[in-house]
Chain A
Amino acid sequence: GAVVSQHPSRVICKSGTSVKIECRSLDFQATTMFWYRQFPKQSLMLMATSNEGSKATYEQGVEKDKFLINHASLTLSTLTVTSAHPEDSSFYICSARTGGDSNQPQHFGDGTRLSIL
């Protein structure tokens, strides 16, 4: 149980392109989803917390107009990197948590490796 699917797994595109990443909870309803970014050999960095039906909460320093998050249903959240540039190249990982209980663990998708040329 608690399977999170993330697509695409890898994206290579030109600078200026917008890229959408999908995160789905396959066998549970995820009230809360999280988006992380991880640069090589560095630790996970939380970008934003996404709640179904409401606006995402962004961490300090993360541009909400650059990284658009939509959590329209209990099983799907999307992250759109708008007008991506080479410095946005990173490993983007989503996670989902069952219910509204913050004591429940997060389950991670397989991640999306984004490369901007």
Chain B
Amino acid sequence: QKEVEQNSGPLSVPEGAIASLNCTYSDRVSQSFFWYRQYSGKSPELIMSIYSNGDKEDGRFTAQLNKASQYVSLLIRDSQPSDSATYLCAVNLAGGYQKVTFGTGTKLQVIP
């Protein structure tokens, strides 16, 4: 089992819809979770951090964390074509010492 798993996609949603991106992780005691967006040919940029169970909202983005089920998700409301990118989930796994472990990313396509 991979330590941080994401569906590679592509996930296609129509413009204006809600995009739901999911991520599961292997270590129950992980403490910090991050979502990054990476456009093709560019480096990742941080969208959100989440540390506690529940929802955290920032503009059109909502991160959801469920530590008991070991998953973290990212919802994008009112999806725009400019949201088309690869979304990376990153988890600070216990025993990961200083580093976070990245998932392989989910490619999102927002269809105009």
Would you call A108 and B102 a contact (CB within 8 A)? no
Would you call A109 and B43 a contact (CB within 8 A)? yes
Asked if B31 is an interface residue, CB under 8 A from chain A, the answer is yes
| A44 proximity list for chain B (CB < 8 A) | 44, 88, 102
A-B pairs with beta carbons under 8 A, tally: 52
Q: Which of B17-25, B54-62, B64-72, B91-99 contacts A (4 or more CB under 8 A)?
A: B91-99
- Interface size for B (C-beta < 8 A) is 24
Would you call B99 and A102 a contact (CB within 8 A)? yes
Please, what's the 1-or-0 string for B17-40, where 1 marks a CB less than 8 Å from any CB in chain A?
000000000000001101010000
Binding site for B on A (CB under 8 A): 2, 6, 32, 34, 43-44, 46, 49, 51, 91, 93, 102-111
Nearest 8 A-B pairs (CB), nearest first?
Answer: A103-B32, A43-B104, A111-B43, A108-B43, A93-B43, A105-B49, A108-B44, A102-B98
